[in-house]
Amino acid sequence: MTSPPDLRTLIAEVVREVVADLAGPAPAAAAPPAPVTATPAPPAGVAGAEHVTPPQLRERVEAVRIADDADLDRFARQLLALFENPKNRQDLRAGRLRFRLEGGTTSAVPQTRPVQRIDSGAVTERQVKAAAEAGRRLVLGRRAVLTPLARERARALGVPIEKER
């Protein structure tokens, strides 16, 4: 049994904590263009909410799988739903809630490798092997020709090959 004054102090405490959490540490790098000053009014029925999250940095990384249009649509809707919630909105803006592409991230790997460019002539197995040892990825010009053996070796060694059109 809580008397009205107790209830009032409890609500005040909760509001203070939520507001402190929302106006918490702003990211230095992200620099949101317009700081959100809206202090959401607490719902009336949160008096018993004991599990108010502490105002600390909670970084969340959610894995997202986008393989086709349907996945993309689902993700966009999920993002909209997250945006409805002011707390999630703050997290998203501040970069505390981030997303990671799950599966099929082969394109992310080659970007980190240095590029070895071959403009013309045959691209042989030997060159692929050398690129694999040097940890490079191959970029072939329009007139470069990849031999079948080199293609097989590149697949076996995991050397990314990009052909320009």
Give the interface with other proteins as residue ranges (CB under 8 A): 120-122, 124-125, 143, 145-150, 152
Rounded least distance, CB 114 to other proteins, Å: 24
Residues contacting 141, CB < 8 A, separation 6+: 117, 118, 119, 120, 164
Rounded least distance, CB 113 to other proteins, Å: 24
- Nearer to other proteins by C-beta: 97 or 140? 140
- Nearer to other proteins by C-beta: 16 or 143? 143
Gap between the Cα atoms of 127 and 48, Å rounded:
68
Rounded least distance, CB 155 to other proteins, Å: 14
Gap between the Cα atoms of 117 and 162, Å rounded:
10
Rounded least distance, CB 130 to other proteins, Å: 14
CB 106 within 8 A of CB 142: no
Gap between the Cα atoms of 139 and 146, Å rounded:
11
- Nearer to other proteins by C-beta: 25 or 121? 121
- Nearer to other proteins by C-beta: 98 or 143? 143
Rounded least distance, CB 131 to other proteins, Å: 16
- Nearer to other proteins by C-beta: 97 or 146? 146
At 74, which amino acid appears?
A: R
Gap between the Cα atoms of 121 and 146, Å rounded:
9
CB 163 within 8 A of CB 119: no
